[in-house]
Chain A
Amino acid sequence: MKSLYLLALVSMTMLFASSARADVNLPGNKKLENADFERHIMGLLGRTGCNGGSCHGSFQGKGGLRLSLFGYEPEKDFVAITRDSSARRINPIDPDSSLLLLKATGQVEHGGGMRFSKDSWVYNVFRDWIARGAPSSAGRGEVKNVTVAPNEIAFKKTGELQQILVKAQFIDGTEQDITYMCEFRTNDDAVAEVTGLGMVKSIKPGSTAIVVSYRGNVMPVRILIPMTLPPGFQYPKIAQVNYIDREVFARLKKLNMVPSDLASDVDFLRRVTIDTIGQLPTPDEIRAFLADKSADKRTKKIDELLAHPLHAAMWATKFSDITGNDTVALENPPTLRAKRSQQWHDWLRKRFQENMPYDQLVKGILTATSREEKSPEEWLESVKKIDSGIDGVGKYDTGEYANRPSLDLYWRRQVAVPTEIWGERTAAAFLGVRVECAQCHKHPFDRWTQAEYRAYANVFASLGVGISPESKKIVDKENAARKGGAKNVNQINIIGKEVYTAAPAKTYTHPDTNAYLPAKALGGPEIKLGKGIDSRVELFNWMRSPDNPFFARVLVNRIWAHYTGVGLVHPVDDFSLGNPASNDVLLDALAKDFIEHKFDFRYIEKAVLLSRTYQLSAKVNETNKFDNRNYAHSYIRPMIAEAVVDVLNSALNTTEKFGLDVRPGAKAVEVGASQLQNATLSYAFRIFGRPARTTACDCERAMEPALPQKLFLMTDPGLLQKFNDPSGRVIKLTTSKMNDTELLDELFLGTLSRLPTESDRKAFAEHRNIVSTRRELVFDTMWALINTREFILNH
């Protein structure tokens, strides 16, 4: 067998020279000599989708042919294609009658339809390979390095084309152009498109990335497409507040996009109040803010809101999502679950209120134990104290649990959680990385392999969730007393979930070799397992070290996404090779600042809120109207479900009843439980997307508008009932002595946080003529206002 294969680039004029065998014409006048199984055929199997999860890559295969998912096991696939099924799939004597080609071209019935046509170059590559006896040489396709050129494309305008070239350096030292064996996809097809052959076309001004994958190697190509400016356009000078503005505006200048103007005071006040505390400013607060003539009033307002108790509640709610505060999954008895969820929320909230350094907050979660430094006896007493504070109608934790240094509830779930799920959960929460793909196969768009997945799961091998040997005697005694003669122990509060350091359990072995696999941080160092060693401590030390590539970046990105509506890496828990940051200079700068300020959460928040970028208007101009990733204007965005509930109550000046599990008078952002007994409210939470938190993924929170939300605002009986609340805004205004002008001012300030325009006043006056009572007038106006897009969106 020949040992050297060449992929030759030849010009059109040399085509006549191609030999009958072993030279296949590729598009763009390229030629492929002697296609190699691993290098080329495997690439094509990926490109054509043959080894995808819904086709032959699925676990049971399809139609009798099973290929490795995304082609990570070329040797097995070679056997499947050339040997299995009585070797009918290939026929070197008469290549065209090979079942593989007959199926893939749809000449015989194929569940996957036609993958390529008989006259295509793909067909010819396969055919040529089969005709040469379907050779393969194991390991020939092993890749040392893949390069894409260019790895960044700055287009000049829309409608331009640019070819991406991909070269692979193989382990044997040879290098080949493998462009056509790759898959290409765009992260935003509204900005740039890419063909299957790697030709990129600029569509719309903006930025995105093209992701190139070649048999498990993933490489992004950044794309930048500027606006076309009218001749003579002078890019204005924009004032900058801090480094955030420097980086955002530098990018915008490259894109020929001019940032919007600074938001007006009322727009700023509404936006920042919703973002920080999930409420609306009251009419009086708006008036006071407008009347304040001091130059630093926005700074003062930001400081005030960041110190507001509901601000800590907002982040406790977000971190309840991130850490998976799933009420239903908490330990028995079910009657205490909602209140334990609240303890979880309270624990987080206390730390956000104190502005505890973020690394210390994570330490309290990640390295939590139940006993902490206590003896079993002391611990049992503390558990009794904590539980008695919540056990009973009308009893709410007064801070007993939140005073614990560590959040053992994070680990205390009724049903045992396998170590690999702890790996997935901690990776998503604190590293912003989704590794679940790698449970079964190498991650298709990231670096993670099955071995890395398992090695990371092994970090949690010494996590004990049960009763430790030290505590067993005393806990058994206590539980026996509690059980008495009861039949159904599920309903009794027995002590069953102590989080402790156990002797390491059986660890996962290497997926290929079945060899011992040391515990290892994700993309980090090996972590020691052993008796009495809490491996989570070393994991935490690795996470919080300044050179950890994820820890700080993920958090600043979460903060950034919270305040702008779009993460620099978006979605926020998808840090991966296939999903590069839209502005990595800014992301790096934020992370560096965060680390330099000792993980000071509120410091970063303040830097974001003070920036001109945050304070830009939502009103677009001709140059930035298409922008949705580069922060040229404030993005109009949905509110989280809790904010919707609170903002509706702000507008109606009413309160919410959350049932017996929640402290009376609580706002929605203060509620810890993911499931509530109060039906009306659960309904609102659900349709506006409060997550059940079962999967510990930010993505579980649906932020998109949907029709039921619209119908809820228009017709929900529970909501409309609030209009009749005697102390609510509608009734108060109905019975007030205000004239029409004052009435409308008050209604607008209470809902849209601004004064009515002339056209608003005119519409109101017209409506006045068709209603018969003042009550109807106020009722209808309130209904109309809360149903505007301006009301239900933050902007």
Chain B
Amino acid sequence: MARDCEGFSRRDFIKVGSAGLLGMNLPQLLSLESAARANPTPQATNRRATSVIMVWLAGGPATIDMWDLRPNAPENIRGQFHEINTSAPGIRICEHLPQMARVADKATIVRSLAHTIPSHGPATVFMTTGNRPTPATQYPALGSLVTRLMPAAAGVPPYVSFTELRNGSAGQSGYLGTAYNPFIVEGNPQPAAGARANSQTAANLRVRGITLPTGFTLEQLENRDRLLRNFDQTFQNVDRNSDVVGGLDAFHQQALEILRSDKTRNAFALDQEPMSLRNRYGMTQFGQGALAARRLIEAGVRFTTVSIGGWDTHGQNFNALSTRLLPQLDQVLSSLISDLDDRGMLENTIVYCAGEFGRTPRINNNVGRDHWARSMAVVLAGGGFRRGYAHGTTDTNGMAPATDICSPDDVASTIFNQLGIDPHTELQTPTGRPMQLFREGRVINRLIG
């Protein structure tokens, strides 16, 4: 706690460690100075998982037609799809998810999830933060919390999102502050129409701000930086006494290190993967994004979000699901799970596939389903989640959970439990108000295998 104000040079601790400064705000950076000197306290060791890939189904998927069919319900509820058996004994899912059926023995389906917000914006916030939105507090996204609590490898962004959830109104860092926002991937991993899928397609992806833009070489960066160093003399003697000035200098060093590092860039070199694997994921934006997500996790990213929209099926629900949405999801999610498993990464990577809510069991006049938060299903895989298990049930008509009802807070708590983070860990808002990660959340022990 004692701070040596006189002799201390901030550069001393910059050299100490470059680990994970990306997910750090100024106070944390500054506290690193004391941490560097004190003995590091060992982390809790009940950690099963080290990273998360969130597959976000924007719009609210009709999970009653996917993971939890109600074949015994009346026709205007059960819909048009049939169930098929899966590799997990006793678990049956939709006929349009045959590849998922094959990997169901590696996955966990939660069928008894429920909340009460049938509106896209706040429901997205609830599902992606694990906290029911309130007017008083802006809760941080799960990825931001991970960023705050688990440092990533040096030179790698801890939290990468392939999409801005609801135009940036969700998926953000909330009360944690700007340092914990996601880094956003730009570009298109999908080969241009008609073009042969080859190495050219890989160069299109980039995490904004982590890599140099096209036409900006490392050599130029070094030259420009030298010039900048020469110009930036005015505060030379101030930085020891000003957190802002010294902090900016530390961040500058870190920025250079990241730009010089090729870890993130390499993660997007999808041409390093065999064509067969790329084809397995599918040459779609969603498929190649999921593959890139896996590569990012390999590079040390903690939390990444890939997303596919179009699930808000108020009309023509079955047509949209069977022709467009389910085939794509089936291919990508099953490939991701089996690919991670093949590489031995599934044990410590959590795949979490969810949307903001389910859809009305009753089919509307436009052969669609409307918003329904009172029952929904999500899929988890890896990270110590119990394999080949379906948790909870819904009533005959799928209106509400019948057994083992759980909430988004509970699922979030369980994910964090697997990451070795106590779900009741306390953080502080900028006003100094202590906040538990998930105040209402309880770890669902039976989800853990």
Binding site for B on A (CB under 8 A): 52-54, 58-59, 189-190, 193, 203-204, 328-329, 417-418, 421, 424, 434, 436-437, 571, 573-574, 618, 620, 625-626, 635-638, 675, 677, 679, 682-683, 686-689, 692, 694-695, 697, 699-700, 702, 704-712, 714-717, 720, 757, 759-760, 762-764, 766-767, 770-771, 780-781, 783-785, 787-790, 792-793, 795
* Given A702-B178, A715-B212, A707:B22 Cβ within 8 A: yes
Inter-chain pairs besides A189-B1, A705-B247, 16 sampled, C-beta below 8 Å: A59-B439, A573-B431, A638-B244, A699-B430, A700-B175, A707-B255, A708-B179, A710-B254, A714-B221, A763-B230, A764-B227, A766-B230, A783-B228, A784-B224, A787-B252, A793-B235
Please tell me which stretch of B135-143, B279-287, B384-392, B399-407 contacts chain A, meaning at least 4 of its Cβ atoms lie within 8 angstroms of it. Answer: B135-143
Which chain B residues border A763 with CB–CB below 8 Å? 227, 230-231
Q: Tell me the nearest residue of chain A to B435, going by C-beta.
A: A53
Which chain A residues border B167 with CB–CB below 8 Å? 675, 677, 682
Question: Which residue of the partner chain, among A699, A706, A715, A787, contacts B216 with CB atoms under 8 Å?
Answer: A715
Report B208-266 residues with CB < 8 Å from chain A CB: 208-213, 216, 220-221, 223-228, 230-235, 238, 241-242, 244-245, 247-249, 251-252, 254-255, 258-259
Q: Tell me the nearest residue of chain B to A413, going by C-beta.
A: B135
* A to B CB contacts below 8 Å, 20 in the list: A54-B425, A328-B169, A329-B135, A436-B433, A573-B431, A574-B432, A636-B235, A689-B177, A705-B247, A706-B26, A707-B254, A708-B181, A711-B259, A715-B211, A720-B213, A767-B223, A780-B227, A785-B231, A787-B228, A793-B244
Task: State the CA gap A281–B434 with chains docked (Å).
Answer: 43
Report B101-122 residues with CB < 8 Å from chain A CB: 121
B183 sits at the interface (CB 8 A) = yes
Q: Tell me the nearest residue of chain A to B434, going by C-beta.
A: A53
Task: State the CA gap A326–B241 with chains docked (Å).
Answer: 37
A342 → chain B, closest Cβ, in Å? 18
A659 → chain B, closest Cβ, in Å? 12
**CB-based contact A636/B244 at 8 Å:** yes
Which chain B residues border A638 with CB–CB below 8 Å? 244
Which chain B residues border A720 with CB–CB below 8 Å? 213, 216
* Given A708-B179, A780-B223, A683:B27 Cβ within 8 A: no
The 8 tightest CB contacts between A and B, nearest first, are: A763-B230, A784-B228, A699-B430, A706-B179, A711-B209, A788-B232, A784-B227, A704-B26
B172 sits at the interface (CB 8 A) = yes
* Given A683-B184, A688-B178, A764-B227, A636:B21 Cβ within 8 A: no
* Given A620-B238, A780-B227, A710:B255 Cβ within 8 A: yes
B38 sits at the interface (CB 8 A) = no
B60 → chain A, closest Cβ, in Å? 15
B243 → chain A, closest Cβ, in Å? 8
**CB-based contact A710/B248 at 8 Å:** yes
**CB-based contact A767/B431 at 8 Å:** no
* Given A686-B181, A687-B178, A770-B223, A705:B26 Cβ within 8 A: yes
**CB-based contact B224/A783 at 8 Å:** yes
**CB-based contact B255/A717 at 8 Å:** no
B366 → chain A, closest Cβ, in Å? 9
B13-43 contact mask (Cβ, 8 Å, vs A): 1 or 0: 0000000011011110000000000000000
Report B137-177 residues with CB < 8 Å from chain A CB: 137-138, 164, 167-169, 172, 175, 177
Which chain A residues border B439 with CB–CB below 8 Å? 59
**CB-based contact A193/B251 at 8 Å:** no
A46 → chain B, closest Cβ, in Å? 15
B436 sits at the interface (CB 8 A) = yes
A57 → chain B, closest Cβ, in Å? 10
B273 sits at the interface (CB 8 A) = no
Q: Tell me the nearest residue of chain B to A434, going by C-beta.
A: B431
Which chain A residues border B82 with CB–CB below 8 Å? none
Which chain B residues border A695 with CB–CB below 8 Å? 135-138, 175
Task: State the CA gap A573–B432 with chains docked (Å).
Answer: 12
* Given A706-B25, A715-B212, A789:B177 Cβ within 8 A: no
B429 sits at the interface (CB 8 A) = yes
Interface-central residue, B135, B221, B258, B431, by most chain A CB under 10 Å: B135
Which chain A residues border B195 with CB–CB below 8 Å? none
B353-373 contact mask (Cβ, 8 Å, vs A): 1 or 0: 000000000000000000000
B44 sits at the interface (CB 8 A) = no
Question: Which residue of the partner chain, among A52, A54, A692, A790, contacts B169 with CB atoms under 8 Å?
Answer: A692
Task: State the CA gap A82–B228 with chains docked (Å).
Answer: 68
Interface-central residue, A328, A702, A770, by most chain B CB under 10 Å: A702
B2 sits at the interface (CB 8 A) = yes
**CB-based contact A636/B242 at 8 Å:** yes
B424 → chain A, closest Cβ, in Å? 6
B157 → chain A, closest Cβ, in Å? 9
Question: Which residue of the partner chain, among B138, B242, B424, contacts A700 with CB atoms under 8 Å?
Answer: B138
Task: State the CA gap A677–B213 with chains docked (Å).
Answer: 23
Interface residues contributed by chain B, number (CB under 8 Å)? 73
Question: Which residue of the partner chain, among B137, B225, B234, B424, contacts A58 with CB atoms under 8 Å?
Answer: B424
B145 → chain A, closest Cβ, in Å? 16
**CB-based contact B431/A574 at 8 Å:** yes
Which chain B residues border A790 with CB–CB below 8 Å? 231-232, 234-235
* Given A699-B431, A708-B181, A770-B223, A789:B232 Cβ within 8 A: yes
Question: Which residue of the partner chain, among A436, A637, A689, A716, contacts B136 with CB atoms under 8 Å?
Answer: A436
Question: Which residue of the partner chain, among A704, A783, A784, A795, contacts B177 with CB atoms under 8 Å?
Answer: A704
Task: State the CA gap A30–B167 with chains docked (Å).
Answer: 63
B3 sits at the interface (CB 8 A) = yes
**CB-based contact A190/B5 at 8 Å:** yes
Task: State the CA gap A417–B135 with chains docked (Å).
Answer: 8
Which chain A residues border B25 with CB–CB below 8 Å? 702, 704, 706
**CB-based contact A792/B248 at 8 Å:** yes
Q: Tell me the nearest residue of chain B to A578, going by C-beta.
A: B432
Q: Tell me the nearest residue of chain A to B228, going by C-beta.
A: A784
B75 sits at the interface (CB 8 A) = no
* Given A789-B245, A790-B232, A203:B216 Cβ within 8 A: no
* Given A687-B178, A715-B259, A697:B431 Cβ within 8 A: yes
Q: Tell me the nearest residue of chain A to B24, going by C-beta.
A: A707
**CB-based contact A767/B227 at 8 Å:** yes
B395 sits at the interface (CB 8 A) = no
Q: Tell me the nearest residue of chain A to B1, going by C-beta.
A: A189
Task: State the CA gap A53–B433 with chains docked (Å).
Answer: 10
Which chain A residues border B247 with CB–CB below 8 Å? 704-705
Which chain B residues border A328 with CB–CB below 8 Å? 121, 169
B436 → chain A, closest Cβ, in Å? 7
Which chain A residues border B233 with CB–CB below 8 Å? 757, 759
Which chain B residues border A771 with CB–CB below 8 Å? 223
Which chain B residues border A424 with CB–CB below 8 Å? 136
**CB-based contact A437/B433 at 8 Å:** yes
* Given A203-B3, A704-B26, A760-B230, A683:B244 Cβ within 8 A: no
Task: State the CA gap A193–B136 with chains docked (Å).
Answer: 33
Which chain B residues border A58 with CB–CB below 8 Å? 424, 436
**CB-based contact B241/A707 at 8 Å:** no
Task: State the CA gap A217–B252 with chains docked (Å).
Answer: 45
Which chain A residues border B228 with CB–CB below 8 Å? 783-785, 787-788
Task: State the CA gap A677–B2 with chains docked (Å).
Answer: 47
**CB-based contact A710/B235 at 8 Å:** no
Task: State the CA gap A33–B135 with chains docked (Å).
Answer: 49
